[in-house]
Structure 1
Amino acid sequence: MSAPRIKKVCVIGAGTMGAGIAAQVANAGVPVLLLDIVRDPADRNAVAAGAVAKMLKTDPAPFMSKAAAKLVEVGNIEDDLAKVADCDWIVEAIIERLDLKQDLYAKLEAVRRPGTAISSNTSTIPLAKLTEGRSEAFRRDFLITHFFNPPRYMRLLEVVAGPESDPALVAAVSDFADRGLGKAVVRAKDTPGFIANRVGTFWIQAALNAAFDLELTVEEADAIAGRPMGVPKTGIFGLIDLVGIDLMPHLKQSLTSTLPADDPYQAIARTAPLIEKMIADGYTGRKGKGGFYRINREAGKRKEAIDLATGAYRPAATPPSLPGAAGKGDLGALIALPGKFGAYAWAILGPTLSYAASLVPQAADDIVAIDEAMKLGYNWKYGPFELIDRIGATKLVERLAAEGQPVPEILKLAGQRSFYRIEQGRRQYLGLDGDYHDVVRPEGVLLLEDIKAASKPLLKNGSAALWDIGDGVVALEFTGKMNALDGDVMKLIGEAIPLVQKSYKALVVYNEGSNFSAGANLGLALFALNIAAWGEIEKLVSGGQQAYKALKYAPFPVVSAPAGMALGGGCEILLHSDAVQAHAESYIGLVECGVGLVPGWGGCGEMLDRWKKNPALPKGPMPAVAKVFEIISTATVAKSAAEAKELGFLRPADGVTMNRDRLLADAKAKALALVDGYAPPAPPEFRLPGAGGRTALDLAVQGFQARGLATEYDGVVSGLLAEVLTGGDADPVDVLSEQDMLALERKAFMTLVREPRTQARVEHMLETGKPLRN
């Protein structure tokens, strides 16, 4: 029987996970049936309907747009179970009780269509137990798909197939999860906790134990077990607060009850009396009254931390700075620190890395699966075997052996060798056979990191680089901190255009940073402001305008491929591209007003041109001006690519890629599709409302000020933005060119940049990462 093409999904269980999975299916544009039990006979669908209503109010939002919620059909198990016959994949996400799951499966077997994929989102119950008593056909169609919470934002999906699972069906579900839901699929074995939770729970338990035993403060522990180890800046205690302290006993109970008695986790699993008391008193972390950290609102929103010895809260201390290389990610230096800091680092890394190494091939076939699971499921910067490479397998083995700790076979196998290497431009990993093997990417995945390992840049400077990505396409990469944009970026754009015109077909703007670009380099701008280098600032503004227009009118297609934040100048480069292929999780906006400025690299004109063509708006100059003014003056940021289309930052025809790893390949394909018959766009012309339109916008701002929603200086900034958008001194009958719009932007920008209140906003943003409401 051929595997299903997944056109409709049913999710059973409308709790946090089930509802989130349903939302992500809807985000993929696929209809989904969400079912739960009947709690209220008068409103039989209340549980599922309530879950959808709650998600529409949740922040961060499970839905990428409110329109996606319309793809969710709600129902209940008693009345609507027969509807699963219309679905190609049924996801069970009910409570973790084997008897309830097996009872549901018996009912599903009677109504489902043969060949329909059935999966459980369980994280604790073995697949073999779940399918006991079911038919051969059911077992063939069954697998485990373990999502991570929240399903929209966490990329990891652990897939577990049973010995009887149909490989074609498992492949079909995995492919849909990959391309449609944006998941990085990691194949795990049918073992307790699978991969990520098994390693992650051990890691957290080891860190908790050591913090109590070594009498560290929570700030000290998080400073050591956070960024220096390449794990989230929350560290251990901040992470537990985030996920919920009350989750810890459940994870412990689950693993201790299912793991063999000789598993190393059994020896370290213990519950601290302090944690039991915190849970009993409602201190369950951020979702409760507080956790290891809390905000004391009675003391002026003071941040406090708990004393691990006494359980009393005290003002949070400044985290300690680690000396030298230890604070910069040198793990060898970190574990060699004298005193309790080095002891704590080793108490976490030694046992955790040894434990992870012992799970190959028990929990996963190779080291790549272990590393990917921890990077994607727990947001580690490096996987366990990548961390071992940073310490050195030999040093790790020597210290483990000296302390009488277990040394897994794969560590002995590595010997003096690293677990990963680059060989002839290919990344390879050490296998259990003692040989190196290529890290194989899924079909359709193209990563710049692989290209960079196998080649040298065509052009490069301190802030950008240009790479040949094959088939006549080059990629422009930003390389500065937060991929900020400066004169070097503009210079490289100027050098790239003639090179591409001469020898290539198209250009893609892309990078693999966490964020596409946070915008202009504010640190550089603040330095120039402090020395009143007005000429240099105007030169940067003018240079950015010229570079972006050169890209817009280049004689070849330019496709931008953002992921993460694309703010300010990062947004403006998207607006000047022939097309955009955006990752679904792209957060796009013109945020300059938040730092007391206006868009200066052509963003105002480009947004006006888009909105005046929008068929949803009435004709005439004012509707488009009012809409763009609203978006830019409030520094609105789209919280997804879908929202970016609604706001005009993306065009309706721009592409959206759900899986981050497929973004570059999709953008390259889009660029190549534009090559034949390509011609640059015609320059736009503008008829703007002039002084009358400006008066209307000023009145709107005054209304916001009267309600306390805008400061006096917001009015100053908005007034200059209104001057740009309404055409300055032009009359409504005048036709303004693109160059006229750029001149208006420059004038407004240079006026604002001289304002001390703008300078204060820029400085505050750099210091705190938050806007100043002055």
Structure 2
Amino acid sequence: MNRTIKKVAVLGSGVMGSRIACHFANIGVQVLLLDIVPRELTADEQAKGLTLEKPAVRNRIVNSSLQAAIASNPSPLYRKSDASRIKTGNFDDNLQDIATCDWTIEVVVERLDLKQSLYEKVEKVRKPGTLITSNTSGIPIHLLAEGRSDDFKKNFCGTHFFNPPRYLKLLEIIPTPETDPAVVDFLMHYGDLYLGKTTVLAKDTQGFIANRVGVFAMLDVMQNMQKLGLTVEEVDKLTGPVIGHAKSATLRTSDVVGLDTTINVTNGLAQGLPNDEAKDVFQLPDFVQKMGENKWLGDKTGQGFYKKMKGEGGKSEIYALDLATMEYKPSQKVKFPTLEATKLIEKLSDRYKVLVGGKDKAGEFYRKMFAGLFAYVSNRIPEITDALYKIDDALRAGFGWEQGPFETWDALGVQKGLELAQAEGKTVAPWVEEMLAAGNATFYKVSEQGVKQFYDPESKSYQAIPGVENFIILDNLRSAGKVLWKNSGASVIDLGDGILNVEFHSKMNAMGSDVIQGLMKGVDMAEQGYRGLVVGNDAPNFSAGANLGLVYMFALEQDYDELNLMIRQFQQAMMRMRYSSIPVVGTPHGLTLGGGCELNLHCDKVVAAAETYMGLVEFGVGLIPGGGGTKEMTLRTAAKYEEGEPEFNLLRNTYMTISTAKVSTSAAEAFDLGFMRRGDEVVVNSNRVIAQAKAAALELAEAGYTQPTQKTNIKVHGRGALAMFQTGVFAMKEGNYISAHDQKIANKLAYVMCGGDLSAPTEVSEQYLLDLEREAFLSLCGERKTLERIQSILTTGKPLRN
């Protein structure tokens, strides 16, 4: 049957339930959020003379939970206004309303009896044929469906979201034997396309996939920590970004999530896995049990593996738990020769051999850690999944690992990993040795067509990963020889069908001369025989902006001719993209700041990931946008003047966006700030962005794209608007809201946006505004306080308010 999800019911408004509701509201779905009715009045309710029968009291729990979610940071909503799609109620008064819903998601307390009791009530009111799923992480899915009707069982399965649902991409789909395969197919597709998830089909086993392997890895790290006598700080240094894991690593992550959660999940796994060959790993270390007894549960109780304490002078300092004494001591910096040896190795997959080859305690730790992990995941096939890529997908999307266990093993070398495990006394599943004996040296390979394949132990052959045909993965195209040109900072890659892609691969995708060269080369090549150009990459962030270090170096040496040339080249590249003979499509995602934002402002169309944090942030380092950003935002504002709103109001709004360095918290908010405009697109699943951008470029080409001409009729207001801005800035300075240097930058920005010292409103050209913008940028580079701000960002990463 064709399913359309217009309205969803979420049963349970706790941390997970309220945030699942918010994410459905993000994508435009109407949500009914329900919870229990309070059993007694609060003191505040009693003081107001309310009774338990009042709607405000009956819906207090659900409304309080939703408001707490909306107020949380980071926000579960793309826009605060999206909350209007969520209607609240309670199980006693509003359960019958789920008859109007296409999908009911249960997210109540992890107790089988409570869930089954609720399902009995739900079955009486839900419309036959509608979806019913549970977000449980610890109860077997098949037990939940016991005693229910055939229609209920047919449309029921587990949908395990990870917290926070907006930001963590994993969605595990866990069917029962009675679940209709069509339901599973629908949920896999819907989760991917509409919810933006990496949807992973899991078997109904304890912990499913991500928690089973992820919790094992965490506990194995803790046990190796004890064996080797490592400190809390050392473990987090060893298990963080150096191996492609989150900065919070292992123990800091436990503090953030809550040690009680770690304890509960571990105990559940220990009880449910009596036959697991690594069951001893699921026994909580003594120090974890002691921390649990002391209620040292992490951030929620103010102390866990780490604790903020007042140091000398009352300044807050981070202390770490000494596991030998169970006392807190000032956090120590960590140094290992093995880690020092990897500092210059940018590529993650190249680090592993150095890490396991270390002769110090760090090297010993890595040998034990990888040996245990490799053996464990090999033995989980076919127990928790038939396909090894699903384990990698689950750990990347659910735990934030840059590479999954099998991808890591591939990077180290399968034979090397096998030997590592055997040396540590671990037993690897027989299928791995069979794979190697048959001449298959890797778990993954890329076909000549650029399609990633995985090794399937059952068929003893390589199979294409299902669903990847919907994605364009640049690494795969690179492996298939599709790179047409490259330098140290950028590559031009053939996406097929007449569309090229310019990819950045500088540090943080910063835009220096090599990236600008790549952009110009991409446009030149596309104009000489292709149909369009995409600017996109697979990195976590689109671009952190222009190469600030280069700007600082030229400014410090007072080499203004070189600096002027650099800014001019940046502006010319932006204009070259905007006024080329082929359509250019930008793909912002993650951080898209400064020059990265300016680039997308000059594309014919933008296809953005929903999680796009876009902004012109130059003000924070004592500058104004100098790569065409000030010009383009002024142009876009002028284009709105005919829509009726007072012109000065529109201009002031844009001015405030730039002068306060506003950054969108989502692609939706980027529309509100003017960084995206009507006709631009938002893709919820970031894996689909480049493929959608290619389709958009083709659509523009097939619609008869014609080369546009530069605008010469941009209305600017001259002295009239300039006086308004200068008066406002002066008042801010006099009120001590901004510094004298802030005032200087703000006035420079106003001068450019008003078109300079013009006596009356005038129409000017883009080039006129670009020249003003560049002059203002260069003059600010000559200011000592601007150099101090740039230096602060480069050395500490923190803005300086001087």
Instruction: Report deviation, 1:731.
Output: 2.2
2:227 to 213, 224, 230: 213
Question: Partners in 1 of 2:64 and 2:789 — Cα distance?
Answer: 42
Counterpart amino acid of residue 57 in structure 1: A
Contact 1:3/1:172 (<8 A) preserved: no
- SS of 2:528's equivalent in the other structure is helix
Contact 1:622/1:693 (<8 A) preserved: yes
Query: Cα deviation per residue 1:608-654 (whole Å; 9 max; x = unaligned)?
Result: 22233447985454223211110011100001000000111000321
Question: Partners in 1 of 2:424 and 2:74 — Cα distance?
Answer: 45
Residue of structure 1 equivalent to 2:150: 136
Query: Cα deviation per residue 1:689-728 (whole Å; 9 max; x = unaligned)?
Result: 3233223223323343445432222112112111111221
Instruction: Report deviation, 1:174.
Output: 2.1
2:740 to 707, 712, 735: 712
2:301 is the alignment partner of 1:288: yes
Residue of structure 2 equivalent to 1:750: 778
Are the structure 2 counterparts of residues 773 and 614 from structure 1 closer, same or farther at C-alpha, using a change threshold of 3 Å?
same
Query: Cα deviation per residue 1:237-260 (whole Å; 9 max; x = unaligned)?
Result: 12212222221110111111211x
Query: Cα deviation per residue 1:557-601 (whole Å; 9 max; x = unaligned)?
Result: 111111111111110111111111110000100000001100011
- SS of 2:250's equivalent in the other structure is helix
Question: Partners in 2 of 1:297 and 1:618 — Cα distance?
Answer: 56
1:309 to 320, 324, 329: 324
- SS of 1:751's equivalent in the other structure is helix
Q: Which moved more, 1:678-687 or 1:590-599?
A: 678-687
2:676 is the alignment partner of 1:650: yes
Residue of structure 2 equivalent to 1:27: 26
Residue of structure 1 equivalent to 2:613: 587
2:397 is the alignment partner of 1:376: yes
- SS of 2:442's equivalent in the other structure is coil
Q: Which runs of 4+ in 1 moved over 6 A?
A: none
Residue of structure 1 equivalent to 2:483: 457
Question: Partners in 1 of 2:596 and 2:425 — Cα distance?
Answer: 53
2:397 is the alignment partner of 1:364: no
Are the structure 2 counterparts of residues 396 and 710 from structure 1 closer, same or farther at C-alpha, using a change threshold of 3 Å?
same
- SS of 2:133's equivalent in the other structure is strand
Counterpart amino acid of residue 407 in structure 2: E
Are the structure 2 counterparts of residues 614 and 99 from structure 1 closer, same or farther at C-alpha, using a change threshold of 3 Å?
farther
Question: Partners in 2 of 1:100 and 1:744 — Cα distance?
Answer: 67
Query: Cα deviation per residue 1:40-73 (whole Å; 9 max; x = unaligned)?
Result: 6332222222222222211100000012111111
Instruction: Report deviation, 1:404.
Output: 3.4
2:702 is the alignment partner of 1:678: no
- SS of 2:123's equivalent in the other structure is helix
Residue of structure 2 equivalent to 1:222: 236
Counterpart amino acid of residue 348 in structure 1: M
- SS of 2:677's equivalent in the other structure is coil
2:456 to 419, 427, 431: 431
Contact 1:422/1:453 (<8 A) preserved: yes
Question: Partners in 2 of 1:403 and 1:601 — Cα distance?
Answer: 55
Residue of structure 2 equivalent to 1:665: 691
Question: Partners in 2 of 1:160 and 1:408 — Cα distance?
Answer: 24
Query: Cα deviation per residue 1:383-441 (whole Å; 9 max; x = unaligned)?
Result: 11112223333333334334433222233223362212234243322111322222333
Residue of structure 1 equivalent to 2:518: 492
Residue of structure 2 equivalent to 1:278: 291
Query: Cα deviation per residue 1:341-363 (whole Å; 9 max; x = unaligned)?
Result: 22322332211221111111110
1:421 to 445, 448, 456: 445
2:260 is the alignment partner of 1:246: yes
Contact 1:358/1:410 (<8 A) preserved: no
Are the structure 2 counterparts of residues 656 and 48 from structure 1 closer, same or farther at C-alpha, using a change threshold of 3 Å?
same
Question: Partners in 1 of 2:460 and 2:533 — Cα distance?
Answer: 41
Contact 1:621/1:688 (<8 A) preserved: no
Query: Cα deviation per residue 1:650-698 (whole Å; 9 max; x = unaligned)?
Result: 0032110001111112111222222223234451523323233223223
Contact 1:3/1:169 (<8 A) preserved: no
2:127 is the alignment partner of 1:102: no
Are the structure 2 counterparts of residues 403 and 547 from structure 1 closer, same or farther at C-alpha, using a change threshold of 3 Å?
closer
2:279 is the alignment partner of 1:266: yes
Contact 1:553/1:680 (<8 A) preserved: yes
- SS of 1:235's equivalent in the other structure is coil
Instruction: Report deviation, 1:263.
Output: 0.9
Question: Partners in 1 of 2:412 and 2:715 — Cα distance?
Answer: 64
Contact 1:154/1:376 (<8 A) preserved: yes
2:140 is the alignment partner of 1:112: no
2:724 to 676, 682, 696: 696
2:169 to 148, 152, 155: 155
Are the structure 2 counterparts of residues 163 and 742 from structure 1 closer, same or farther at C-alpha, using a change threshold of 3 Å?
same
How do 1:409-558 and structure 2 match up within 5 A? 409-415=430-436, 417-424=441-448, 425-432=450-457, 433-558=459-584
What TM-score do the two structures reach when normalised by structure 1?
0.96
- SS of 1:246's equivalent in the other structure is helix
Are the structure 2 counterparts of residues 135 and 760 from structure 1 closer, same or farther at C-alpha, using a change threshold of 3 Å?
same
Q: Which moved more, 1:92-101 or 1:301-310?
A: 301-310
Residue of structure 1 equivalent to 2:7: 8
2:750 is the alignment partner of 1:737: no
2:390 is the alignment partner of 1:388: no
How do 1:159-198 and structure 2 match up within 5 A? 159-198=173-212
Instruction: Report deviation, 1:281.
Output: 4.3
Question: Partners in 2 of 1:268 and 1:502 — Cα distance?
Answer: 60
- SS of 2:259's equivalent in the other structure is coil
Instruction: Report deviation, 1:302.
Output: 1.6
Question: Partners in 1 of 2:645 and 2:151 — Cα distance?
Answer: 60
Question: Partners in 2 of 1:175 and 1:543 — Cα distance?
Answer: 44
Question: Partners in 1 of 2:751 and 2:337 — Cα distance?
Answer: 51
Are the structure 2 counterparts of residues 56 and 309 from structure 1 closer, same or farther at C-alpha, using a change threshold of 3 Å?
same
Equivalent pairs counted in the alignment come to: 772
Question: Partners in 2 of 1:57 and 1:446 — Cα distance?
Answer: 36
Identical pairs, percent: 38
Contact 1:622/1:688 (<8 A) preserved: no
Are the structure 2 counterparts of residues 289 and 714 from structure 1 closer, same or farther at C-alpha, using a change threshold of 3 Å?
same
Structure 1: runs of 5 or more not aligned = none
Question: Partners in 2 of 1:55 and 1:188 — Cα distance?
Answer: 29
How do 1:604-615 and structure 2 match up within 5 A? 604-614=630-640
Question: Partners in 2 of 1:248 and 1:79 — Cα distance?
Answer: 36
- SS of 2:463's equivalent in the other structure is strand
Contact 2:717/2:762 (<8 A) preserved: no
Contact 2:12/2:18 (<8 A) preserved: yes
Query: Cα deviation per residue 1:85-142 (whole Å; 9 max; x = unaligned)?
Result: 1111111111110001111111111111111011100111111111111111111000
